[in-house]
Amino acid sequence: MNKATSPNGATPPHERDIKTIVNAGLARRHAAERRFRWYGLTAITLGLAFVVLMFANIINKGLPAFWQTYIQVPITFDAAALDPEGQRDPRALAGADYNALVRAGLRQLFPKVEGRLPLRALSALVSTDASYDLQRRVLADPQLIGTQQEIWLLASAAVDTFVKGNIDRGLEEANRPIKDNQIDWIDQLRAAGKIERQFNAVLFRSGDSREPEQAGIRGALMGSFFTLLVTFLLSFPIGVATAVYLEEFAPKNRWTDIIEVNINNLAAVPSIVFGLLGLAVFINFFGLPRSAPLVGGLVLSLMTLPVIIIAGRAALTSVPPSIREAALGMGASKLQMVGHHVLPLAMPGMLTGSIIGMARALGESAPLLMIGMVAFIVDVPKSFLDPATVLPVQIYLWSDLPERAFVERTSAAIMVLLAFMILMNGLAILLRKRFERRW
């Protein structure tokens, strides 16, 4: 063992004592090892931290949007003002001046307020929707006329933001959307228990609006629903049929090779290019209407198709050949074999792939911008041809708006979107677990 006194000295390399040599370098090498391991752990921690950070950030911003400030105002449904004819004619009732009722109610709360500007500031405490709210109430229940009621009216976005603590009192008056006198009133209302936070049903009940407190995602949700319905109805049957054809029937030749390569490449084409296709072909060539869920669905189904085809083929290949042989052996035709035996076994896998594809389509926005689904649309769409937007595009539209209340709503809309995605992916995982088979 005394081959070498100095490990790397004059002895020829082949006679050096490996034990001493290795020992000399061990500390350094182990340090390098620890460092490398630490890099890896840091990388993965960073990645996971981003996930947590993003979710935390969005939930933190969006959670308050699920509650909305309301102000309790005494409203006198004055018969003389609302229905001078006394006929309870809905037309006449609809045309009455409800704004006046709101103003009167607010003045009743703060009788000392005088002057045009202060009075305007006072009315600005409640949303412009308050008068429509009263109109709806009266139309729904004409009995209200002639009574006085304490009614919770939707507060304006500025009030809501202030009540949620997102406007600093210490700011100079000119720099905040809510003025000193308004703050004073809000404090009084608060002290009297006339300010309350309620569940923000408006968010789920109404379409888009320029006023944050009146803006909701109902329109976008319905738009997404119609768009995805079209996407599913088109891409699922076509995708399954393509997968079945390629996997079970197609001869292996140049043509099917081309189809295969083509599908793989299509899966990697940037989504915005599909938008260009939709614009050029569906809108400009076929003359389909802009902003329609039908066109959005068409574009997204072309995008989703490769996903479904690839998942479908994987599901089909996982069905063992023995089942095919058994079916054919019983005298079934090839189509019967596929229809009765192979397809049912592959169906859970295909559905899983399709759900994941649909979840992706749900989050897609870029191609929809191209086909005009970015318009400001107040009405909730009722069909495939009504102008509509979708949830992610609504998020995009709102994210451009500077008001704090919109930032809040954007985050809330993101939470709803993510909830849907989690739901769909969860469903896919469940389906896979439930039907997972080991052959």
Partner 1 sequence: MSTTAIDTQIALNGALNRNAPIRQSAGAQVTDYDNRQTVGKITVDNPKMACREVNVYYGQKHAIKNVSLDIGANEVIAFIGPSGCGKSTFIRCLNRMNDTIPAARVTGLIKLDDDDIHAKEIDVVQLRARVGMVFQKPNPFPKSIYENVAYGPRIHGMVNDKAELDQLVRDSLERAGLIKEVEKRMLEPGTSLSGGQQQRLCIARAIAVNPEVILMDEPCSALDPIATAKIEELIDELRENYTIVIVTHSMQQAARVSQRTAYFHLGDLIEIGDTDQIFTNPRHKLTEDYITGRFG
Partner 2 sequence: MQPLLFLTLLLLSAGAYYVGRRRALAVAGGHIRNLHSLPSFYGSYAALWCGLPALLVFALWAVVQPNLLVDWVVAGLPPELRDLPPDRLNLVVNDLKNLVGGNFVSSASDPVMVEAAERYRQLRAIGNTALWVVVLSFAIAGTAYAWRAISPAFRARNRVEGVVNLFLIASSTVAIFTTVGIVLSVIFESMRFFRQVPVAEFLFGLQWSPQTALRADQVGSSGAFGAAPLFAGTLLVSAIAMLVAVPIGLMSALYLSEYATPKFRAFAKPALEILAGIPTVVYGFFAALTVAPLIREIGSALGLHVASESALAAGLVMGIMIIPFVSSLSDDVINAVPQSMRDGSYALGATKSETITRVLLPAALPGIVGSILLAISRAIGETMIVVMAAGLSANLTANPLEAVTTVTVQIVTLLTGDQEFDSPKTLAAFALGLVLFVVTLILNIIALRVVRKYREQYE
Measured CA to CA, the distance from residue 349 to residue 435 in angstroms comes to: 8
CB of 13 to partner 1, least distance (A): 4
Query: Does 32 participate in binding partner 1 (rule CB under 8 A)?
Result: no
Any contact of residue 269 with partner 1 (CB under 8 A)?
A: no
Q: Which segment (7-15, 132-140, 254-262, 272-280) binds partner 1 by CB under 8 A?
A: 7-15
What phi, psi does 22 have (nearest 5°)?
Answer: -60, -45
Which of these segments, 19-27, 233-241, 315-323, 400-408, binds partner 1 (CB under 8 A)? 19-27
CA separation for the pair 202, 206 (Å, rounded): 6
Nearer to partner 1 among residue 16 and residue 324 (C-beta): 16
> With CB cut-offs between 5 and 8 Å by kind, which of partner 2, partner 1, none does residue 14 bind?
partner 1
Told to check if 1 binds partner 1 by CB under 8 A, we report yes
Contact between 14 and partner 1 per CB under 8 A:
yes
Binding of partner 1 at residue 51 (CB under 8 A)?
A: no
Nearer to partner 2 among residue 33 and residue 180 (C-beta) = 33
Decide which of partner 1, partner 2, none touches 31; Cβ closer than 5 to 8 Å per partner kind. Answer: none
Per CB under 8 A, the segment of 23-31, 217-225, 376-384, 389-397 that binds partner 1 is: 23-31
Q: Rounded to the nearest whole angstrom, what is the least distance from the CB of residue 48 to partner 1 in the complex?
A: 23
Nearest by Cα to 302 from 234, 226, 373, 390? 234
**Residue 158 DSSP SS3:** helix
With binding defined as CB under 8 A, does residue 268 bind partner 1? Answer: no
Report residue 259 as tokens: 């189809």
Q: Which stretch binds partner 1 (CB under 8 A): 17-25, 153-161, 302-310, 317-325?
A: 17-25
Q: Under the criterion CB under 8 A, does residue 21 sit at the interface with partner 1?
A: yes
CA distance 415 to 429: 20
User: How many Cα atoms occupy the beta-carbon half-sphere of 397 within 13 Å?
Assistant: 26
The residue from 22, 49, 139, 171 that contacts partner 1 (CB under 8 A) is 22
Nearer to partner 2, 82 or 417 (CB): 417
Instruction: Establish if 8 lies at the interface with partner 1 (CB under 8 A).
Output: yes
Task: Using the minimum distance from each CB to partner 2, give the nearer residue, 75 or 424.
Answer: 424
Beta-carbon contacts of 236 under 8 Å, excluding residues fewer than 6 positions away, are: 308, 354
| Long-range contact pairs involving 287-291 (C-beta distance under 8 Å, separation at least 24) | 289/385, 289/387, 290/371, 290/372, 290/387, 291/371, 291/372, 291/373, 291/375, 291/377, 291/387, 291/388, 291/389
Q: What is the dihedral of CA 327, 333, 335, 337, to 10 degrees?
A: 0
Q: How far is the CB of 35 from partner 1 (least distance, A)?
A: 16
User: Which positions touch partner 1 (CB under 8 A)?
Assistant: 1, 8, 12-19, 21-26, 29
